[in-house]
Amino acid sequence: MVTKSGKYVPPKKWVWDKENGGKFANINRPISGSTHIKDLPVGEHPFQLYSQGTPNGVKVTIMLEELLDLGIQEAEYDAWLIRIGNGDQFGSGFVEINPNSKIPSLLDRSEKQPIRIFESGSILLYLADKFNKFIPKKFENRTECLNWLFWQMASAPYLGGGFGHFYAYAPEKYEYPIDRFAMEVKRQLDVLDKLLSDKNFICSEEYTIADISIWSWYGALVLGRLYDAEEFLDVKTYKNVVRWAKEINARQAVKRGIMVNKIKGNPSSQLHERHSSSDFIHKTQDKLEKL
Ligand SMILES: N[C@@H](CCC(=O)N[C@@H](CS)C(=O)NCC(=O)O)C(=O)O
């Protein structure tokens, strides 16, 4: 209810009687489950990824490309595009592998029974454990790596769902939530900047799944790729984070990983579906549009 003075007073009981406005209003619902029957496509590789190239999505494609760069052929994958803006995540096949209807979701078909993996942190950990890569072997170091992986999973919703939503996507700009979440995101950047002041990577001198997961959000932010907020958040002052973000950005697997399932930006940087390493050369949108 809105009073005469224009103030909103919450009703006794919330009811879903309208869309809440802003970008993504059409896909937000207060109920879970599928909205339509649709099977998922399946390719020939051990891993089937159903995703879009968002910060959570690219965590997985970067990890798979990193594993392939180590020569691990068992990490070969088909990446299928789930257009979340069109509601593909509510198709019955997708909901079967992720009842939470969010990308990324992965199916491992190399085991006796296919294994579904959802939640990007869980997917990174699954792949790290399965191939024994990008995760420290020593128990103490592994624990520190998981500290930061879980930190990212718990912190990013403040950056995305909080700051990003109110700064970039909400139908109007409101000072209160923007201040609240800008403050928190700057605090998180400061945590990372201090952490990286005396080490090259997040949890050790090695590059791990903690780096992949944090880079996909906070690296993208300081490199000016998220929400057009570089100046607003004065990201260049977090010098250690910028140095670390640039170093990871230069990795070949990262350059490829961020192209997969990407549907925005320069067509030559978008690979909507990936089924083979040669797709990066022949199947980007600029090439497909010329056919
Ligand atoms: N905690 C989840 C979050 C996944 C998530 O929020 N995915 C977004 C895109 S980045 C999504 O699928 N949104 C579609 C929707 O909310 O309907 C993860 O890290 O996997």
Cα(130) to centroid(ligand 1), Å: 23
C-beta 103 within 6 A of ligand 1: yes
- Whether 201 and 244 map to the same domain: the answer is yes
**Could you count the other beta carbons within 10 Å of the beta carbon of residue 186?**
17
- Whether 146 and 248 map to the same domain: the answer is yes
- Whether 93 and 163 map to the same domain: the answer is no
List CB contacts of 246: < 8 A, sequence separation 6 or more.
223
- Whether 104 and 219 map to the same domain: the answer is no
- Whether 122 and 222 map to the same domain: the answer is no
> Does the model's pTM come out above 0.95?
yes
Domain final residue pick, 83, 105, 134: 134
**Which atom of ligand 1 is nearest to 55's Cα?**
10
Evaluate whether residue 287 is within a structural domain. Answer: no
Evaluate whether residue 194 is within a structural domain. Answer: yes
pLDDT digit string (tens) for the chain, length 291 residues: 777 788 889 999 999 887 777 777 778 889 999 999 999 999 999 999 999 999 999 999 999 999 999 999 999 999 999 999 999 999 999 999 999 999 999 999 999 999 999 999 999 999 999 999 999 999 999 999 999 999 999 999 999 999 999 999 999 999 999 999 999 999 999 999 999 999 999 998 899 999 999 999 999 999 999 999 999 999 999 999 999 999 999 999 999 999 999 999 999 999 999 999 999 999 999 999 988
**Which atom of ligand 1 is nearest to 103's Cα?**
12
Tell me, what's the pLDDT at 112?
96
C-beta 230 within 6 A of ligand 1: no
The residue segments making up the domain with residue 32 are 1-134
Separation of CA 107 from chain center: 17
- Whether 204 and 117 map to the same domain: the answer is no
Q: Shortest CA distance to 87 belongs to which of 43, 132, 131, 25?
A: 25
CATH number at residue 224: 1.20.1050.10
Name the residue at shortest CA distance from atom 5 of ligand 1.
102
- Whether 126 and 173 map to the same domain: the answer is no
Cα(56) to centroid(ligand 1), Å: 7
Evaluate whether residue 70 is within a structural domain. Answer: yes
Evaluate whether residue 219 is within a structural domain. Answer: yes
- Whether 176 and 219 map to the same domain: the answer is yes
Evaluate whether residue 71 is within a structural domain. Answer: yes
C-beta 54 within 6 A of ligand 1: yes
- Whether 35 and 49 map to the same domain: the answer is yes
Q: Which two tokens stand for residue 95?
A: 């909901």
Structural domain total, the chain: 2
Domain final residue pick, 134, 161, 179: 134
C-beta 51 within 6 A of ligand 1: no
C-beta 240 within 6 A of ligand 1: no
Domain final residue pick, 91, 111, 134: 134
Name the residue at shortest CA distance from atom 20 of ligand 1.
119
C-beta 87 within 6 A of ligand 1: no
**Which atom of ligand 1 is nearest to 90's Cα?**
17
Evaluate whether residue 272 is within a structural domain. Answer: no
Evaluate whether residue 279 is within a structural domain. Answer: no
User: How many helices and strands (H and E) does the chain possess?
Assistant: 11, 4
- Whether 103 and 23 map to the same domain: the answer is yes
- Whether 152 and 251 map to the same domain: the answer is yes
Evaluate whether residue 91 is within a structural domain. Answer: yes
- Whether 117 and 203 map to the same domain: the answer is no
**Which atom of ligand 1 is nearest to 161's Cα?**
6
Label the pairing between strands 77-81 and 115-118: unpaired
Give me the sign of the Cα torsion angle 146, 147, 152, 155.
positive
**Which residues pair with residue 107 across a beta bridge?**
48, 116
Q: Which amino acid is at 223?
A: L
Choice from 32, 56, 83, 150 to test ligand 1 binding pocket (greatest atom count within 8 A of CB): 56
Name the residue at shortest CA distance from atom 19 of ligand 1.
120
Tell me, what's the pLDDT at 206?
94
CATH number at residue 36: 3.40.30.10
